[in-house]
């Protein structure tokens, strides 16, 4: 007798992620099982509830930070402005995949009221911020950037990239982008360079005092 085919957990998780992205949390386990080519019983042998399956499907996307994987190798190498452009493009690609999952996870949080990936120590957003700040700090030490606050620079860069994707999502119904992607990235890099580049000569205006 032929041995039954063993279905890997990752196959079920991949199918669940695809279905939840298409249908939201309202998707049924029957739909997930059909996508994976298994019975609902097989799903519930691995995951006790739909909520547990949902968390398993969403979790890996929060944890992975591949777009920052080569930061250390970039330090001191090549044209820094081009590195920033490439990092921004990679970050936007990452957030285009992650943002829908984040929204869905916030709509279906864990017991704490937050997505489970954000309740553990050193959550992914904090790790990303620390890695970017460390990268900018290393470039500052090499005098490839002016001595500005590296965490502030990291927050501006990371927040700008994330906000671009957010506005892509909220303007989809209008079939319009806030800015074409190359225009946005070049503009962001040039603004950062004017404030933090080693050859910056322009004094940026101070914020106006509150009345």
Q: Which domains does the chain have, with CATH numbers?
A: 8-59 (1.10.10.60), 64-196 (1.10.357)
- Predicted confidence (pLDDT) per residue in 142-173, tens digit: 999 999 999 999 999 999 999 999 888 877 76
Measured distance CA(162)–CA(188) in Å, rounded: 12
Per-residue pLDDT, 206: 40
Q: Among 45-49, 157-161, 176-180, which range has the highest average pLDDT?
A: 157-161
CA–CA distance from 194 to each of 7, 57, 80, 137, 185 (Å)? 54, 42, 13, 17, 14
Per-residue pLDDT, 22: 77
Per-residue pLDDT, 210: 38
Measured distance CA(165)–CA(177) in Å, rounded: 10
- Predicted confidence (pLDDT) per residue in 71-117, tens digit: 999 999 999 999 999 999 999 988 887 777 777 666 666 676 766 66
How crowded is the C-beta side of 93, counted as CA atoms within 13 Å? 11
Contact 43, 32 (CB under 8 A): yes
Measured distance CA(72)–CA(87) in Å, rounded: 12
Stronger pLDDT, 172 or 33, i.e. the higher one: 33
Q: Answer whether residue 32 shows pLDDT above 50.
A: yes
Q: What's the CA angle centered on 48, arms 42 and 49, to 5 degrees?
A: 105
């Amino acid at each position: 007798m032929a041995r039954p085919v063993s279905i890997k957990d990752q196959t079920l998780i991949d199918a669940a992620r695809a279905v939840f992205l298409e249908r939201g949390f309202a998707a049924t386990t029957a739909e997930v099982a059909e996508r994976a080519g298994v019975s609902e019983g097989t799903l519930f042998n691995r995951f006790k509830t739909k909520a547990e399956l949902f968390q398993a499907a969403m979790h890996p996307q929060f944890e992975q930070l591949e777009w920052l994987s080569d930061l250390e190798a970039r330090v001191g190498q090549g044209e820094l402005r081009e590195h920033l452009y490439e990092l921004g493009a990679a970050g936007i690609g990452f957030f285009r995949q992650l943002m829908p999952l984040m929204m869905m996870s916030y709509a279906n949080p864990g017991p704490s009221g937050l997505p489970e990936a954000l309740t553990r120590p050193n959550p992914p957003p904090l790790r990303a911020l620390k890695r970017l700040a460390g990268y900018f700090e290393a470039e500052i030490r090499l005098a490839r950037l002016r001595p500005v606050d590296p965490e502030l620079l990291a927050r501006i860069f990371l927040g700008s990239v994330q906000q671009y994707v957010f506005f892509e999502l909220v303007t989809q119904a209008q079939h319009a982008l806030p800015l074409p992607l190359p225009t946005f990235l070049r503009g962001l890099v040039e603004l950062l360079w004017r404030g933090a580049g080693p050859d910056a000569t322009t004094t940026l205006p101070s914020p106006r005092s509150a009345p």
